[in-house]
Structures are given as C-alpha cells and as structure tokens.
Copies of this chain bind each other. A is one copy, B any other.
Amino acid sequence: MKFFEDIATGERAELGSRTFTAPDIKAFAGRFDPQAFHLDEEAARRSYFGGLCASGWHTASVWMRLMVDHVRREDEARAARGERVAALGPSPGFRDLKWLKPVYAGDTISYATEVADKRVSASRPGWGLVTFRNSGVNQNGETVISFTSVAFVQRREGGA
C-alpha cells in the first residue's frame, strides 16, 4: 500500500475484471445464499431476475479479492524498486452498498476504486483513515455494484 501521505483524493485504480461463470455463481450460492435464482437456471428463468445471477455478496466478495490482488501487485512493484511499503490496516466497515443491476452468468464485471476522502486517525496514532468509492461495471457499461469503504492506512511519519 502507499503511505497515507502519498494518497491523493480523486485518484483512481482499475482493479481488474472477473467473469461470473454459472459454476462459480452456484458454488458461492450453495454455501452462502441458497436461493433458487442463484442455484438453478430454470428456476431463475421463472424468477423476477429472468436468468441465473450471482448473489450480491458474491459480487462484493470478488471486489475484495481483486482489491487484495491489486494491493499485492503494487506492493511487489514498490519492494522491487526498493521503496518502503505501508500496511493496509483493518476496515471498520462500508456504507451505501448498492446492487444496481443483476450479475448474470457469463457477465464480466470490471472493478475500480477511487479515493473519496482521507483524514488522520484520532484513535490510532500512526494511521490514517481513507475513504474509497468502489464500483463494478458490466460488459455493457452498466454499474452493477457501488459502495463506499473505509480503511486504515499506515502513515509514513509516526509509523504503527
């Protein structure tokens, strides 16, 4: 992770994309969201969704995976350049998660994150709090998920 001081409000990162296959959708739903429209093509066709679609928690969890992979790639590049790497701390939570469109089997969702705000943490010396605006967009350019997350990021000065 960049240090808190090096993060600029407005900066945006593309996190990569993921195609939601029918087996992936059913595997997640079987464990965490066993509703018929996430498990069975025929039942999904008859539902208000009109086709097999991913659990919203699946769509959100894939954002987390791509975010972790993105931070790791960036950290490896930083380490290779001999730069110090900041720790990404715990997340207190997120706000305003919206599932705006269904994610159907075969859809490819491209995720991005943008820095909406940053401030020094009052409760944890050595850390800052960064607010990210996150989104996933399908292959037709439609936003399917958006939410605002907050995470602790290590400060360069007065480190953890």
Chain A residues proximal to chain B, CB less than 8 Å = 31-35, 48-49, 55-57, 60-62, 64-65, 68-69, 89-99, 102, 147, 160
Q: Output the least CB separation between A128 and chain B (Å).
A: 15
Structural contact, A64 and B68, CB atoms closer than 8 A: no
Residues of B within 8 A of A95 (CB): 95-97
Residues of B within 8 A of A32 (CB): 61-62, 64-65
Alpha-carbon distance A55/B89, docked complex (angstroms): 13
**A-side interface mostly:** mixed
> Which chain B residue has the least Cβ–Cβ distance from A24?
B31
A-B contacts, 15 of them at CB < 8 A, read A31-B65, A32-B61, A32-B62, A33-B64, A33-B68, A34-B65, A35-B68, A48-B160, A57-B60, A57-B61, A90-B99, A90-B102, A91-B99, A93-B98, A95-B95
Structural contact, A34 and B96, CB atoms closer than 8 A: no
Residues of B within 8 A of A60 (CB): 57, 60
Structural contact, B96 and A49, CB atoms closer than 8 A: no
Residues of B within 8 A of A91 (CB): 56, 99
Residues of B within 8 A of A69 (CB): 34
Structural contact, A97 and B97, CB atoms closer than 8 A: yes
Structural contact, B64 and A55, CB atoms closer than 8 A: yes
